[in-house]
Amino acid sequence: MKKLVFATALAIGSLTIGTAASPIIFHDGIMEDIFLQDYTEVAASDLPTPIVNALATDYEGAMLNKAYVDDENNYKLEITSQEGASTVLYADSDGNWLEM
């Protein structure tokens, strides 16, 4: 009986070890695109005027914490709302909000 319990535990253990090392695969590809984008931090003074205007209009009173730009001139903005909630926004250089 001990051998049966030991063999079962060994079989189950070998299954979990084999699956633990495998990487997570995203089937839709959307998350892969987001993780592969490289953003470079930029100063708030370097943001295009349309983005500054869109932020002031759509997120009135929000404080810009950090801004980043990628190779395609898309911007990632880390803001804090008046209520204190932290949010990450994405925009193109024309000030249009992007859904990520």
Share of the chain above pLDDT 70, in %: 63
Please count the residues of the chain.
Answer: 100
More confident residue, 11 or 79: 79
User: What pLDDT was estimated at residue 86?
Assistant: 95
The pTM score is 0.62
Q: Is the pLDDT of residue 55 over 90?
A: yes
Which residues, in sequence order, are CB contacts of 67 under 8 Å at separation 6+?
A: 41, 42, 43, 44, 46, 47, 75, 76, 77, 78
More confident residue, 17 or 39: 39
More confident residue, 31 or 68: 68
User: What pLDDT was estimated at residue 100?
Assistant: 74
